[in-house]
A and B are shown apart, each in its own frame.
Chain A
């Protein structure tokens, strides 16, 4: 396997952009990534794109083809990757593999999405064989109720308080306030969060991510190409994809097994473990984490599931400010999806952008001091997850 560098990154701001197409948003993100890399469109040898469910791609998730048609049909191979909210991370992994495996020297990874208004309708089909559809027809359970189940269990198991949940959102907005590309750039007080309306108890409106329009792009290249353009590249230490295991305690449809131990989000844990293993790093080596905070619960559960802290310890880390950029375990210095909203298929590429800026020391007021190793993680419908370790 060859060494792979992230030579350039670019991001369109996230929010609501009624007047723009997803293709236009991707174009701007790609132009920024190419300029950052010091390359031109003609230098791109292949495209790996997240397949959008909601916008562009001719309704078939052909979003990489949209990009090529828009920027210049040079005949290059295009890979369209579909993995729910993990699609961007999945596209990154394929782009990484194409360079690491010696198939190409320069690959573009891109994710862009324009989301419909309101809470996501998780099932795209109305078929009685579809577990997501059955869940809604038979039990009446939309997406946020799923987060609520997990959150409530944590509260009963560890005594997590409403204030502790809210504190995660307060921290997110302290970071997001310093990010020029964030949708929400206002700091929130604990009272602001606790007074926001309950969506599906326990989570409140400011404790879950809204849907957004957004796009992000990254240019990956071989060591040979990277060293022509920079003397301090950001390297991909490890990249991994995983799916949920049979013994996971979270039902993907109507039922699952009762797990023997505290086995939740096995796909995320497996992806993170694999990426960290191939990077040869442990929790103590990681300077910052960009994790998929669809709701505040994940920011408490994930670090301990991945071995970054003891079970039930995450709340205290948040309270002591240890998950802030200057703390011992900085999480989502970007502001995360609580501040950006989810543009589902762009999220994995978004995380790569933030990690690169952090590792280069370009993150301004949200900078994690001296960051050398960063971890990114996505989680998508269908039991999909990806993880990436970048290092300087």
Chain B
């Protein structure tokens, strides 16, 4: 087993929209808002599942360049804190090296 580092950029392979409040153990903030889930291809050869962020659902397209962000997933009622997860958002055009 070897550790490997991956860059923050990738290409959206496809995405889905979660329209209904999913059953446990999925956590979300009330009231439920539909969200997008993507499969992102990293140039290093990994295809990664991730929440999508920073774009309206109708702006998402397969093949668009995206970049990694760490963002809030939802609040944690037990601790009063919040859960953080990895997400991808549309990459700024000029920074795109794809």
Contact = CB atoms under 8 A, between A and B. Distances in A.
Interface stretch (A88-96, A105-113, A195-203, A302-310): A195-203
Given A152-B14, A200-B17, A139 B47 contact: no
Interface in B43-76: 45-51, 61-63, 73
A140 B41 contact: no
Contacts of A133: 25
Interface stretch (A76-84, A208-216, A248-256): A248-256
A191 interface: no
Interface stretch (A55-63, A143-151, A320-328, A334-342): A143-151
Interface string A218-238: 000000000000000000000
Contacts of A24: none
B46 to A, nearest CB: 6
B14 A156 contact: yes
B42 to A, nearest CB: 8
Contact of A258 (B17, B45, B51): B45
Given A139-B85, A149-B39, A153-B14, A256 B25 contact: no
Interface string A134-175: 011111111001101110110011000000000000000000
A167 to B, nearest CB: 21
A257 interface: yes
A347 B22 CA distance: 25
B23 interface: yes
Nearest to A123: B25
Contacts of A198: 17, 19
B16 A146 contact: yes
Contacts of B50: 139
Contacts of B85: 138-139
A257 B47 CA distance: 5
A198 B17 CA distance: 10
Given A142-B18, A148-B16, A152-B16, A136 B47 contact: no
Contacts of B47: 249, 251, 255-258
A251 B42 CA distance: 14
A126 interface: yes
Which of B19, B41, B42, B46 neighbours the largest number of chain A CB atoms within 10 Å of its CB?
B19
B37 A141 contact: yes
A152 B39 CA distance: 11
B23 A152 contact: no
| Secondary structure class of chain A's binding surface, majority of residues | mixed
Contacts of B38: 149
A164 B38 CA distance: 23
A25 B9 CA distance: 53
Contacts of B39: 149, 251
B14 A141 contact: no
B26 interface: yes
A273 B78 CA distance: 51
A136 B25 contact: yes
A146 to B, nearest CB: 7
A256 B48 CA distance: 7
A121 interface: yes
A150 B47 CA distance: 13
| Most chain A CB neighbours (cut-off 10 Å) among B20, B27, B45, B86 | B20
14 contacts: A135-B49, A138-B86, A141-B37, A142-B22, A149-B15, A149-B39, A152-B15, A152-B16, A156-B14, A200-B20, A201-B19, A249-B13, A249-B47, A255-B49
Q: Which 9 A-B pairs have the closest CB atoms?
A: A148-B16, A153-B14, A156-B62, A142-B22, A145-B16, A201-B17, A149-B16, A255-B48, A140-B26
